[in-house]
Structures are given as structure tokens and as C-alpha cells.
Structure 1
Amino acid sequence: MDARDEDRTLETLGLAVAPRDRPLSYPGARPAGSGLLDGDRLLPLDRLTHPDRTAVVAVGSNASPAQLRHKMAEFGIASPVPMVKARVTGLDVGVSAHVSRLGYVSASPVNAPDTTRELFVIWLDAEQLAMVDATEPNYDRVLLPAPAFRVELENGEALLDQFAYVNHHGVLHNGAGAPRSHPGQRALITELLAGSPALRQLFGVTPEEFCARARADARLCARGTRLFAEEKLVTASGLEHLHVR
């Protein structure tokens, strides 16, 4: 590795912490711009589109290079992943209505026709796509059809075929029936615990306790997921009609 590559390590760029290791960091640090994730490095990209790969809009931790690196290492995959910054119209970032076995409450896209968000598109080859599918057991990979959803890359090019992972438990609402936005893990867990004595009984009174208990007990995570529904905190994402792949 030459000096230029050393300057592009995830550690040097402040991108090395994976939410799978530190759940309160969810969704994880995202790059300042597009790049090629190659092992422990985020290198410059020579092109933004990759027609031989599948484009996936990342609304949660799949936009974190450290999280992707962590997932690929578990599956023994070492091939690079292009990560491209994009402006996405038609989606917003909601809160998944399930407690992850990894200790956090993750994000999920919601239908938002008048909203434009800066998100990342990850371009996955067949092996990488199968790996990400396998690491998202609570999600369905759905096709985002144009023109209802517009994904515009940094060079202004608009994509026609792209996917996103939608949580099949639904999303949490904001108290008025609409999907709530994801404010980051610590703020989210603090708000959820403050609003539910039953959730505090299961997971404790602090975000740290919540994460530790969730990571230690898969059955507790399932109980927390059921509690969201029992307390009528769940609503639809508005994406249920999309074609599942």
C-alpha cells in the first residue's frame, strides 16, 4: 500500500466504526462523496454507473463503508463495492418496526413523493447482492420504478432501475399516524424508552442498556418487535405495493 492509499483508509477517513460492533453508532458514518470500497480503503471512482451490477439505494447502514466491510468479511467476500452519492426523490428515511438482533432499531424507506434526500447508491455484483440479501432477513428488496422514484447521480444522470430494502414489519409512526423519521440511534432509543414503560421493563432505561440487552437475547428482540405492534406504534411505509425481488 503506497502513501496515497494509506490516506484513503477507513480509519484515516473517520469511517472505520461499524454499527454491528457499536450499535449506538447506527447508521454509521457515511463518506463525504462517492468512492470505491476496496477492503479497508475508500478509493476514488473512475465512473459513477456500473451497468453490470445491481443498483441499491441505501437508507440505513448499507451506506456505511465499515458496515459493508463487516458484512463482506463474514461471508468471505473481498471484491470492491462502488458507493455513489445520489439525490433520491420519492423516499424518506423512516424507523423499522423491529428490534434488531444487533442491538439497534434500524432505518427503512418510506414513501414520500415530495421529499428529496441525499443518499448513497451501492452497486453490487451477484455475489455481493446475495450476501446483502442474506443479511437483511427483516427486509424485502423491492424495485423502485421511475418516474415515481427518481435517483439522480452526482453527474446529473438519472437511473431507471434500482432497488431498496423495505422492512416487512412496517415502520413506526410519529404519533399522528405518519411515519416518523430516524433521528439517529441514541436519540431514537431515548425517545422510544421515554414513551413506553413496557419497553423500559424489557430493555432498561438507557440506550446503552437497550443495546446490551438486545444483543444478548434474540427472544427479547422478538418480544420488543411484537410490543411495537401491541402498543399500536406501527404504520405502513407506503411501499408495500412495490414488486419484491
Structure 2
Amino acid sequence: MDHVTDRTLRALGLAEAPREHPLLYPGAWPAGSGLLDGDRFLPLDRLVHEDRTPVLAIGSNACPGQLRHKMEEFGIMSPIPMVKARVTGVDAGVSAHVSRMGYVSASPVGAPDTVRELFVIWLDAEQLAVIDASEGVPVPAGNYDRAWLPSPDVRIDLADGTRLPGAYAYVNRHGVLHDGTGVPRTHPGQRVLLTELLVGLPRFRELFGVVPEEFCARARSDRRLCERGTRLFVEEKLVTASGLERYAAVSLRAQQTGSPGTAASLSPPLM
């Protein structure tokens, strides 16, 4: 097997997109930093890309197969640097909405004492517009706001010793699910999460079936059913704040006033 073949997403186990296989959510993440270039994951020559926007990937945006799927939908083929980072102050919570992609996604939550290895994806303007569109940022009924998480509130340390001044993250407009005590719960992986929800919530089970596979099939085929599931989280009093809403509010005000350096959402090339 030659060098090029060795670096294909399929050879590296990174090709599957949760959009096509919901129970795999959040999908396979790379072992280390690299450049997503079409169907290949190549070595990076640097970790910081000043001409691009840093976005902290909490869920499937750290999966090369998912990123490739999103970009191909809009005809975008340009490479994306993906940089592994040590992040303090953020954890992966559970979004308080049912995605029409057939899963319950991850969402960032404030966690001051938590240290995690996450990915920063560095996006050009066109790529940022695509990811914004996939998260619903440009539309009032969308699920996420893009918020700037500043240092030192959130520490993002790269392998070369660089500490970023901050990065954007997608904060859920619906809030996140809590653990029963009001504290945001962490995302345990799709199959485990769906099993817990279906076993523990009879009304959820009535809507989506008794096993995760049935949930995925029903959610993917019915937007209104997803909306009912999202409302059910509220009705069952399972929803709490992520702790990051204040950053979303600041970013929204900055975008509305056109403040420099806010990297406001762009309209996607296709809808």
C-alpha cells in the first residue's frame, strides 16, 4: 500500500459520516493533528493559521468524514487544518434537541475544572459559511449560535506550546440536558444516550420506538417528530443552561453591530 493510499480516510478509519450512520455519532476522530484534503488526512506543517477562523469542535465537526460530507454538499473542496488541542473549561454536553440527522448531538458546556483533548478546525470564509449553515446559525429557528470563547475563560493549548486567545464554538439555543441534579450531563456516545432516553422516558419511547435503531429511522424521516422530541425535553424538565450563553449573546451583539474581528456568519453558497 503506497503513501497516498495510507493517508486516505478509509484506510485511517475516518471515512464514515454520522450524517449517514447516526449511531456512530460523533464519529471517529483523528489520533492527532492533520490536514483534511478531500479523501486524505495529511500531515500539517504548522498548527496556527492566522488567515483562518478557529472553531472548537465538540462533536462530529471533529470527524473528518462528517466534515467532508458537509463540504461536499456545498461543493467545497478546499483543505481544512484540524489541530488537536488541550482544552480547559469546556466539556461535551448533550444538546436539548433532536436532530433531523437522526441523533441527539453534543453541545459545549462550561466546565471550569475539566481538561479535554479536542480539535480546533481552522476554516476559511467559505468553509465557515458551510459549517454555520449546518448548525443553523444564519436562521432564527436554527439550533446553534456561534460564540467566541475567550482566553483565559477557556484555555486552548496546542502541542507546540501556543495558547490561543480563544476560539469559536457552537452554543445550543435550546440549552442542554442535565444529569438529574441540574448539572449539564456529558455526552456518553449515541447508542448509550439513546438507550438511556428510550428506557427512562415513556413519552420519548412512544415517539421514537424502543431501540436506538428505531429512533434513528424515525427521526431521520420526520422533521416535525424531531420538533416534538425537542419540546418533550422541556416538558420533562430535563433542560438546563450550558453556562456559555453569555458568550453567545456577546458574539451576537458584535455581529449585529459589525464590530471588527467578529467573523459574522456568512450566507451559505447553497440552501
Q: So what's the TM-score if we normalise by structure 1?
A: 0.98
SS at match of 1:47: coil
Instruction: Please report how far the alpha carbon of residue 244 of structure 1 lies from its aligned counterpart in structure 2 after TM superposition.
Output: 2.6
Where 1:244 maps in the other structure, the secondary structure is helix
Tell me the residue number matched to 1:154: 159
RMSD: 0.9
CA distance in 1, matches of 2:55, 2:78: 17
Shift of 1:5: 1.4
Matches of residues 21-60 of structure 1 in structure 2 within 5 Å?
Answer: 21-60=20-59
180, 193, 196: which is aligned to 1:175?
Answer: 180
Q: Is 1:197 matched up with 2:202?
A: yes
Return the alpha-carbon distance in structure 1 between the equivalents of residues 159 and 20 of structure 2.
31
Partner of 2:95: 96
Which residue of structure 2 lines up, in the alignment, with residue 17 of structure 1? 16
Runs of 5+ consecutive residues of structure 2 not aligned to the other structure: 137-142, 253-271
| Paired residue secondary structure (2:117) | strand
Contact 1:193 1:199 in 2 (8 A): yes
What is the aligned-residue identity percentage?
A: 72
Contact 1:5 1:43 in 2 (8 A): no
- Within 2, Cα distance between the matches of 1:230 and 1:156? 46
- 1:77 corresponds to which residue? 76
CA distance in structure 2 between the partners assigned to 1:6 and 1:244 by the alignment: 42
Contact 2:155 2:164 (C-alpha < 8 Å) held by counterparts: yes
Partners in 1 of 2:166 and 2:14 — Cα distance? 28
Q: Deviation at 1:19?
A: 0.1
What TM-score, normalized to structure 2? 0.89
2:211 paired residue number = 206
Q: Deviations for 1:35-90, whole angstroms, at most 9, x for unmatched residues?
A: 00000000000000000000000001000000000000000000000000000101
Q: Provide, for residues 7-34 of structure 1, a one-character-per-residue CA deviation record: whole Å limited to 9, x for no partner.
A: 1000000011100000000000000000
Once the two structures are TM-superposed, the CA of residue 159 in structure 1 deviates from its matched residue by 0.3
Cα drift, residue 155 of structure 1: 1.3
> Letter of the aligned partner of 2:119 in structure 1?
F
Q: What's the secondary structure of 2:135's corresponding residue?
A: coil
Counterpart position of 1:187: 192
Residues 156 and 166, structure 2, Cα contact 8 Å, conserved in 1 = no
Partner of 1:141 in structure 2? 146
The alignment partner of 1:121 has SS state of strand
Count of residues in correspondence between the two structures: 244
| Distance in 2 separating the partners of 1:146 and 1:52 | 19
For residues 46 and 30 of structure 1, the distance between their equivalents in structure 2, rounded to whole angstroms, comes to 20
User: Residue 28 of structure 1 contacts residue 61 of structure 1 at CA under 8 Å; is this kept in 2?
Assistant: yes
Give the structure 2 partner of residue 227 of structure 1: 232
Deviation, structure 1 residue 139? 0.8
Paired residue secondary structure (2:166)? coil
Instruction: Give me the whole-angstrom Cα distance separating, in 2, the residues matched to 1:223 and 1:161.
Output: 35
Q: 2:256 — aligned with what?
A: none
1:112 and 2:132 are equivalent in the alignment: no
Letter in 2 for 1:96: S
Partner-residue secondary structure (3-state), 1:208:
helix
Segments ≥4 residues shifted beyond 3 Å: none
| Between 149-158 and 92-101, the greater mean CA deviation after superposition | 149-158
Unaligned residue ranges in structure 1 (runs of 5+): none
C-alpha deviation, 1:146, in angstroms: 1.1
